[in-house]
Amino acid sequence: MEDAYARSVPEVLDFFGVEPSKGLTDSQVALHAKIYGRNELPEESRTPFWKLVLKQFDDLLVKILIAAAIVSFILTLINGETGLTAFVEPFVILLILAANAAVGVITETNAEKALEELRAYQAEVATVLRNGGFSILPATELVPGDIVEVTVGCKVPADMRMIEMLSDQLRVDQAILTGESSSAEKELESTVATNAVYQDKTNILFSGTVVVAGRGRAVVVGVGANTAMGSIRDSMLHTDDEATPLKKKLDEFGSFLAKVIAGICMLVWIVNIGHFRDPAHGGFFGGAIHYFKIAVALAVAAIPEGLPAVVTTCLALGTKRMARLNAIVRSLPSVETLGCTTVICSDKTGTLTTNMMSVSKICVLDSFHHGPLITEYSVSGTTYAPEGIIYDNNGLQLELPAKLPSLFHLAMCSALCNESVLQYNPDKACYEKIGESTEVALRVLAEKVGLPGFDSISSALNMLSKHERASYCNHYWENQFRKVSTLDFSRDRKMMSVLCIQKHTQIMFSKGAPESILSRCSHILCNDSGSTVLMSASIRDELESRFHSFAANETLRCLALAMKLIPMGQQSLSPHDEKDLTFIGLVGMLDPPREEVRNAMLSCMSAGIRVIVVTGDNKSTAESLCRKIGAFDHLEDFTGHSYTASEFEELPPLQQTLALQRMALFTRVEPSHKKMLVEALQHQNEVVAMTGDGVNDAPALKKADIGIAMGSGTAVAKSASDMVLADDNFASIVAAVAEGRAIYNNTKQFIRYMISSNIGEVVCIFVAAVLGIPDTLAPVQLLWVNLVTDGLPATAIGFNKQDSDVMKAKPRKINEAVVSGWLFFRYLVIGAYVGLATVAGFVWWFLYSDGGPKLPYRELMNFDTCPTRETTYPCTIFEDRHPSTVSMTVLVVVEMFNALNNLSENQSLLVIPPWSNMWLVGSIALTMLLHVLILYVPPLSILFSVTPLSWAEWKIVLYLSFPVIIIDEILKFFSRKSYGMRFGFRFRRNDLLPKSERHDK
């Protein structure tokens, strides 16, 4: 029954055919169970493990690599090669791909846990009325029409419509659905609100929420998937994960690279058709296969095999740095996504605020003798920790607040007229509440006021352990007085009272709504003398004015406290005793904003990131909080910037689009609205980060580009998120964004480094093929360069220091190419030099080396016809391993110098020296050590077809390699002087790599 909240109690009972005094009969239960099903969330079909594994290989670059590995392996076997060398290349490629796939499978498996965690919020048992009698049954056996009794501490087992109130009030903590910090009061009357959200459905008990006060009966109107919890599950189930911006750019780069590779491979093969019939190849077919092997080697050279592993490693290193900032990353790709976030949709309660009610203002009568003088005190401290300072009107600290009579009695009343518990949790290292947030706030106030007596009481309290300090002052008052009777809060009185005895004195302490307490007060306590005076009309008017100011202007939740002497011997209280009270004071409390939030939000704005506060609270409360934060001071008026969910839904589509571009506050929302907001922003090509902590936030967290859960939040929210804030602090998001931007900059640097290196390898093979000289590098040598010599420095580039102005730049556009325009030209130049230097090393050995044959260049070009004609040299010199070793070493060393070029995109090595990143220096040293090992250790040199080099050969390697630094320094100089930008106008389009598609919807 979807509209039970709008129906009267008799209508709902008639709909299910149930009598409120007897409940359902067994036959009705069986019929309803058949119609509506079981009261449990259905199990979702899990993606088979083998499908998850195969999904990781659904990438064009990966498919090309696998094909290249298989073809290389087959051709090696066709040529009759056996042994370890035949398996090295395909084995290493597949090992890299398997490691990358494992990371992907683990990430996707974690995402499915959110749906499983949702089951933890289902109640296990329920007290049900059937066949005229109550019994405790498993909650899964409930059916619509069942009448269920709930009381304090009960977890609501299904969506239910209230039908009877068995206490003065019934309050439910439904924060997991609405995010509101205070409990919601339930009533019997039907709701007339149009487009009612959860907060408006005051007669509905929602599945998974907890009763915190009172007792009542309700009829089940929704079970299983047809509950509020079920709708959240369905929303999560139908939310597709978005590809991260970097993943999209890498996919585009892969498609672009695949086309280039295919074109160059075909070109090399076609260019050499004339050589197919050379006798050295054993015929046309043999020549075709030989040059096809060269084309495959070219593919291996062009594909950066180490890229997935290096990206994963760099992101993993970033997660460690972010963990130190209290941002725990659950999904590696989300690290980079933070860097291009354009909008942060921030939950209010618990993220911008502490989610802990705290007394911030106190109002008492200071003096009456010099004319009525009302004074206010402010209270610091924004958590449940009993740590805070009370300040007077002038902002001066009160050294001993308990010496002031009004504050003294205020603390006494707060401790005694209270049913909550404040305790210290050593496991979480924080103070926690049991009971109503407002009552716990009063307990904390009593601790801050302290105790009367010695001047050293403050320092003595600070010496207590945290467990003892939690309620030391409250326990003092509870030991001083004995509670005799309690008059519970009721909706008509809007107050509660307790009768306490101390020696020969009986005092009634009362607290409640200010209007109720004030109307029952005949006297008021003076703070200067401790005397009581008659409550005059002027004092009453002034107190009411302060109350309205607290509530309206500062949106504080106000309570008034009072007391009354009761004649000795009275053992119980009645509402008739709640008159002629003595007014003690007025307290204003709120869920306070975190102290760090203001600066964090200003940092977001300077970084070009818009913040939208999203909350289930009402509009005025949320707007007041935004003003307190101070980050929205630039908005003179919230008109056009603040919308409730229903107001936004009523706007025409065009106005909704405009509203989204200006929105700063979104109130009275429920789960579907949060997800809708994320989708709408993504349609406008925004990169959206969504924060949340409740079950209600899970669908939006899953849908957002990056979902950020609170460390104190629900397990469901954490499982649906990409990142968890250990300290629940919005400021940690800003620090994580800065880290994400730095990680992307470093990721971009090592991608560019690998591209330029691979361009060099392609140029090397292509030039050798065009010139008709022997193969300069074997495929296994190319693989060594790609995986080991490229991989280590590329990973170390990820340790480049964060730029000082990283949070002053606007977010990068989602369609920004990794390498574009002038920058791509720069790396073409570098790549071309790398390739030509490698070929030059090979040719040098044949033509000029003292250890080589010193052949004429023509002889080198006609190497393949050597067996068919007379020569002055043996044909076996073309099988010598020296020339390819020189080429391979040139390629390794030139790429080490090129790695130094990537310490910065445009800054000279004279400004950012190599030792600014010692990890890079260390990786270069380790890479060279590994390379020397394969040259001089016999088993490895045989495996990689290399041989030791002489000092003369090493000098040529250095001469050919070092100029890459000079070339890049010149190109960086032009970049800094903006010549690069002018050059970019010569291209018809801004970037040579394909632009990104519109944001996936």
Report helix, strand or coil for 156: coil
The winner for highest mean pLDDT among 22-26, 455-459, 877-881 is: 22-26
pLDDT tens-digit map of 100-109: 666 556 545 5
- Per-residue pLDDT at 110 exceeds 60: no
Query: So what's the pLDDT on residue 957?
Result: 94
Q: Which of 40-49, 77-86, 759-768 has the lowest mean pLDDT?
A: 77-86
The H or E element containing residue 599 is helix 597-606
- Per-residue pLDDT at 313 exceeds 70: no
In this structure, the dihedral spanned by the alpha carbons of residues 661, 667, 670 and 673, taken in order and rounded to 10 degrees, is: -10
Query: So what's the pLDDT on residue 990?
Result: 38
Cβ atoms of 384 and 431 closer than 8 Å: yes
The H or E element containing residue 11 is helix 9-16
pTM of structure: 0.64
d(C-alpha 17, C-alpha 247), whole Å: 56
Tokens 């020569």 belong to 871
* Sequential DSSP letters for 619-650: HHHHHHHHHHH-TTTT-S--TTTEEEHHHHHH
pLDDT tens-digit map of 807-840: 777 787 766 666 666 777 887 899 899 999 999 9
pLDDT tens-digit map of 706-730: 888 877 666 667 777 888 887 777 7
pLDDT tens-digit map of 667-692: 888 777 888 999 999 998 898 999 88
First to last CA, the chain: 33
Query: So what's the pLDDT on residue 996?
Result: 36
Cβ atoms of 85 and 780 closer than 8 Å: yes
- Per-residue pLDDT at 746 exceeds 60: yes
d(C-alpha 438, C-alpha 356), whole Å: 9
Cβ atoms of 118 and 41 closer than 8 Å: yes
Query: So what's the pLDDT on residue 95?
Result: 67
d(C-alpha 31, C-alpha 418), whole Å: 47
Residues 6+ apart with CB under 8 A from 650: none
* Sequential DSSP letters for 56-76: TT--HHHHHHHHHHHHHHHHH
Query: So what's the pLDDT on residue 112?
Result: 47
- 821-847 vs 730-771: helix crossing angle, rounded to 10: 40
Comparing CA positions, the residue from 155, 149, 188, 182 lying closest to residue 169 is 188
Q: How confident is the prediction for the chain on average, in pLDDT?
A: 80
Residues designated as active site: 347
Neighbour-count burial of 534, counting CB atoms closer than 10 A to its CB (0-12 exposed, 13-18 middle, 19+ buried)? exposed
d(C-alpha 709, C-alpha 833), whole Å: 49
DSSP letter for 239, please: P
Side by side, which strands form the sheet with 171-173? 184-185, 171-173, 210-213
pLDDT tens-digit map of 373-409: 899 999 998 889 998 999 998 889 998 899 999 999 9
Tally of CB atoms within 10 A around 221: 25
| Separation in Å, CA 644 to CA 609, 639, 649 | 22, 12, 9
Query: So what's the pLDDT on residue 303?
Result: 65
Report helix, strand or coil for 373: strand
Cβ atoms of 335 and 322 closer than 8 Å: yes
- Per-residue pLDDT at 259 exceeds 70: yes
HSE (CB half, 13 Å, CA atoms) of 951?
0
Query: So what's the pLDDT on residue 958?
Result: 94
Query: So what's the pLDDT on residue 118?
Result: 47
pLDDT tens-digit map of 149-189: 998 878 898 999 999 998 878 888 887 777 666 678 898 98
Residues 6+ apart with CB under 8 A from 248: 814, 996, 997, 1000
Q: Which two tokens stand for residue 267?
A: 């070109």
pLDDT tens-digit map of 613-650: 998 877 887 888 888 887 677 777 788 889 998 899 89
Q: Residue 693 — φ and ψ, nearest 5°? A: -135, -15
Q: Which two tokens stand for residue 760?
A: 């060099």
Query: So what's the pLDDT on residue 658?
Result: 92
b/e sequence 806-822, b meaning 16+ C-beta within 10 Å: bbeeebbebbbbbbbbb
- Per-residue pLDDT at 592 exceeds 60: yes
Query: So what's the pLDDT on residue 790?
Result: 67
d(C-alpha 644, C-alpha 619), whole Å: 7
- Vertex 92: Cα angle to 87 and 93 (nearest 5): 105
Query: So what's the pLDDT on residue 533?
Result: 92
d(C-alpha 881, C-alpha 953), whole Å: 13
More confident residue, 655 or 232: 655
pLDDT band at 872 (very low <50, low <70, confident <90, very high): confident
